[in-house]
Amino acid sequence: TATVPVAVAALLAAAGPAAAGPVTHGTAPARPAAAGAPGAGDPYFPLAGNGGYDVSHYDLTLRYDPAARHLDATAVLTARATARLTRFDLDLKGLKVTGVSVDHVKASYRRDGQELVVTPRTALRPGHRFQVAVTYSGTPGPVTDPDGSPDGWIPTDDGAFVAGEPQGAMTWFPANNHPLDKASYDFTLTVPQGHTAVANGVLLGSRTAHGRTTYRWRQSEPMAAYLATATIGKFRVEQFTTRGGIRVYNAVDPREAKAAAPVVRQLPAVLDWESGLFGPYPFRAAGAIVDHAPDVGYALETQTRPLYDAAPDLSTLVHESAHQWFGDSVSLTRWQDIWLNEGFATYAEWLYTEQHGGDSAQQEFDALYARPATDRLWAFPPGDPGSGENIFDTPVYARGAMTLHELRRAVGDRAFFRILRAWATDHRGGHGTTAQFTALAERISGKDLGTLMRTWLETAGKPAAP
Ligand code: ARG
Ligand code: ZN
């Protein structure tokens, strides 16, 4: 589909600092959106997120009946007003809202597309910490992303595959649905006995009564809404604690068990290897959810516990695990910088192969570089995909990884690995931008990397031979 989105990029650049800037010079984030604004100011997804408040915690209570595909839910968000708010938006798509309260007082609300517009009885003062509770129910289903993939609550034959990148969180809970706003989460998930409901973080406990089981999960470290899951199925579960004290919980669909076992078994070793390169694993919990969801077509790095649509190969496990550092712990400030997630996770695959007896990263680079100038790989530069339609396309993954390889060749291995580690460490639990990454790489290497980064990240077409 995609032609080189030069025109779109030019339009965005013209739209000002909240839009595409030159990545190596632009100051970072989108400017803060106005109080009550329906979006966080990200031109790739203009209605994602909202203005005027910051969520610190989501408490989600969900009861799902897989046979009827029916959801009954309550979401309680703890947030802080960043401006005076007479009304504010949450992102929620589909479902029926039956009540909203702010600080335990009934609030009025209306639906407007993906916006749930809430008007509290009295205006919120700037700095005020408040709780908003939303009760809702219905039949959740996915949204279709600009690239055509299903995203959000995706029913399966025995439950639901729940993934949210980039937009799907709003299909199952009201959210400030942009990675700029990270929060902790509690999940209370009730499903028919015999089903398992798997979310992020640590399993606090489960209890069965009257033919239903309730699972309580806690994600303590900050998480972007798109990385939340509440995947439901008839899973085989295994739990253990690693030598390093990480709580591992794996859930595998029996139909995928045979193929998944040899790969999932590698998870602790992969996380150890990645910790050696990128610094300490950023979360207290880990694991894998291997579902049987033939209509999905991708895996997602759901925080602490990546979600696979089928038994993954080892490279995919390495990729989703690397995202725990790059994408999950260090989050995007704007979707344009998606190569900071996908280029890094792809380069982690190359490094893994290189250090485990396979092709070197240079060989991977050379094989890609040999592709003709007409190849999809060169359709747009990874630092400027142009729109949400392109964020999971080949240039973001492969040319993004090639960018890191060129950086490595320019600064040498010693500086390169220090840069990767410093990036994960300095921005742990927070955010980063391409401009900040380049500045860090220049600081650590003592080299001017402007030309290299501009060439590989921002310049249309196949770069001249390195
Ligand atoms: N971040 C995921 C991965 O690299 C890809 C998610 C694709 N999602 C989508 N809606 N197309 O592993
Ligand atoms: Zn990825």
| Residue 17: predicted pLDDT | 33
Give the confidence band of 5 by pLDDT, cuts at 50, 70, 90: very low
Give the CA distances from residue 222 to residues 169, 178, 180, in Å, rounded to whole numbers and listed in that order.
Answer: 15, 13, 11
CB neighbour class for 1 (10 Å; exposed up to 12, middle 13-18, buried from 19): exposed
| Residue 466: predicted pLDDT | 84
Residue 131 φ then ψ, to 5°? -115, 130
**C-alpha span between 288 and 319 (Å, rounded):** 13
Ligand 1 binding residues, C-beta < 6 A: 145, 147, 149, 151, 165, 298-301, 319-320, 342, 392
The number of the ligand 1 atom at minimal distance from the alpha carbon of 299 is 12
Mean pLDDT of the chain: 93
Element of type H or E holding 185: strand 183-192
Please report which residue ranges of 179-332 form alpha helices under DSSP H.
257-264, 267-278, 314-322
How many angstroms separate the alpha carbon of residue 165 from the centre of ligand 1?
A: 6
From atom 8 of ligand 1, which residue's Cα is the shortest distance away? 165
100-151 per-position pLDDT tens digit: 999 999 999 999 999 999 999 999 999 999 999 999 999 999 999 988 999 9
Give the confidence band of 4 by pLDDT, cuts at 50, 70, 90: very low
The full DSSP string for 248-291 is: EEEEE-GGGHHHHHHHHTTHHHHHHHHHHHH-S-S-SEEEEEE-
344's torsion region: left (phi>0), alpha (psi -120 to 50) or beta? Answer: alpha
> Counting ligands in written order, which one lies closest to the CA of residue 346?
2
The closest of 359, 259, 238, 367 to 305, measured between CA atoms, is 238
278-306 per-position pLDDT tens digit: 999 999 999 999 999 999 999 999 999 99
Q: Which amino acid is at 244?
A: G
Which long-range contacts link 33-40 to residues 24+ away (Cβ below 8 Å)?
34/83, 35/82, 35/83, 35/84, 35/85, 35/88, 36/85, 36/86, 36/87, 36/88, 36/89, 37/89, 38/89, 38/112, 38/115, 39/178, 40/176, 40/178, 40/180, 40/181
Query: Which of 143, 161, 300 maximizes ligand 1 atoms within 8 Å of its Cβ, making it the mutation to test the pocket?
Result: 300
Q: CA 231, 178, 20: angle at the middle one, nearest 5?
A: 135
Query: Which of 143, 154, 165, 326 maximizes ligand 1 atoms within 8 Å of its Cβ, making it the mutation to test the pocket?
Result: 165
| Residue 30: predicted pLDDT | 47
> Which residues on neighbouring strands pair with residue 70, listed in sequence order?
65
Q: CA 232, 215, 197: angle at the middle one, nearest 5?
A: 5
| Residue 354 CA from chain centroid, whole number | 26
The closest of 38, 135, 167 to 90, measured between CA atoms, is 38
Q: Does pLDDT of 3 surpass 50?
A: no
Give the CA distances from residue 79 to residues 10, 134, 329, in Å, rounded to whole numbers and listed in that order.
Answer: 36, 14, 21
| Residue 208: predicted pLDDT | 98
Give the confidence band of 32 by pLDDT, cuts at 50, 70, 90: low
Residue 79 φ then ψ, to 5°? -145, 170
Q: Does pLDDT of 192 surpass 90?
A: yes
How many angstroms separate the alpha carbon of residue 26 from the centre of ligand 2?
A: 25
| Residue 20: predicted pLDDT | 31
- 294 prior amide bond cis, ω within 30: no
Q: Does pLDDT of 10 surpass 90?
A: no
**Coil/strand/helix, residue 429:** coil
227-284 per-position pLDDT tens digit: 999 999 999 999 999 999 999 999 999 999 999 999 999 999 999 999 999 999 999 9
CB 263 within 8 A of CB 285: no
Query: Residues 6 or more apart from 255 whose CB is under 8 A from it?
Result: 292
347-371 per-position pLDDT tens digit: 999 999 999 999 999 999 999 999 9
Question: What ipTM was estimated for this complex?
Answer: 0.98
User: Is the alpha carbon torsion for 290, 294, 295, 297 positive or negative?
Assistant: positive
| Residue 31: predicted pLDDT | 56
How many angstroms separate the alpha carbon of residue 341 from the centre of ligand 1?
A: 10
| Residue 13: predicted pLDDT | 32
Query: Residues 6 or more apart from 32 whose CB is under 8 A from it?
Result: 41, 51, 82
Angle between helices 339-355 and 434-445 (to 10 degrees): 50
| Residue 226: predicted pLDDT | 98
Q: Does pLDDT of 22 surpass 80?
A: no
User: Is the alpha carbon torsion for 352, 342, 228, 171 positive or negative?
Assistant: negative
User: Is the alpha carbon torsion for 155, 156, 160, 162 positive or negative?
Assistant: negative
**In the chain, pLDDT over 90 holds for what percent of residues?**
91
Q: How confident is the model over 437-441, as a mean pLDDT?
A: 98
Higher pLDDT, 36 or 272: 272
How many angstroms separate the alpha carbon of residue 147 from the centre of ligand 2?
A: 15
313-329 per-position pLDDT tens digit: 999 999 999 999 999 99
**C-alpha span between 450 and 24 (Å, rounded):** 7
Give the confidence band of 465 by pLDDT, cuts at 50, 70, 90: confident
59-112 per-position pLDDT tens digit: 999 999 999 999 999 999 999 999 999 999 999 999 999 999 999 999 999 999
Give the confidence band of 36 by pLDDT, cuts at 50, 70, 90: confident
CB 393 within 8 A of CB 148: no
